[in-house]
């Protein structure tokens, strides 16, 4: 069995942001890319624009969802929840910059 962890890269030039017609997909000054869910109309343009099709459309809400690096946690100096809870300590967080290879 193989497992590939493929979460949002918070790209330095995120193709999902300019593709979003409503301004729901946003990039903060520090490079963190996040979704303002109230503005999302579920058009899926961000999914098509992302090279890895990372945003996921939720048929229950009619909106997309995407990793936001647990921005509320990191703004409090905490690690993202996946890093804090990974039982095998496979994941590490060393800042938004380090999460931006692209």
Number of residues that bind ligand SF4 (CB under 6 A): 27
- How far apart are the C-alpha atoms of 10 and 33, rounded to whole Å? 5
- Interaction of residue 64 with ligand SF4, rule CB under 6 A: yes
- Interaction of residue 35 with ligand SF4, rule CB under 6 A: yes
- Interaction of residue 32 with ligand SF4, rule CB under 6 A: no
- How far apart are the C-alpha atoms of 45 and 19, rounded to whole Å? 6
Q: What is the CA radius of gyration of the chain?
A: 14
- How far apart are the C-alpha atoms of 79 and 93, rounded to whole Å? 7
Give min distance, CB of 72 to ligand SF4, in A: 18
Contacts with ligand SF4, residue ranges (CB under 6 A): 8-11, 14-16, 19-20, 22, 24-25, 33, 35, 40-46, 50, 52, 54-55, 64, 66
């Amino acid at each position: 069995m193989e497992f590939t962890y493929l979460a949002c890269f918070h790209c330095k030039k995120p193709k999902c942001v300019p593709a979003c017609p409503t301004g729901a997909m946003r990039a903060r000054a520090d490079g963190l890319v996040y979704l303002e869910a109230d503005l999302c109309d579920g058009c899926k343009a961000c999914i098509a624009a992302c090279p890895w099709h990372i945003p996921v459309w939720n048929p229950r809400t009619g909106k997309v969802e995407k990793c936001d690096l647990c921005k509320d946690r990191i703004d409090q100096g905490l690690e993202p929840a996946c890093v804090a809870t990974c039982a095998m300590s496979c994941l590490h967080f060393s800042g938004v910059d380090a999460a931006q290879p692209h």
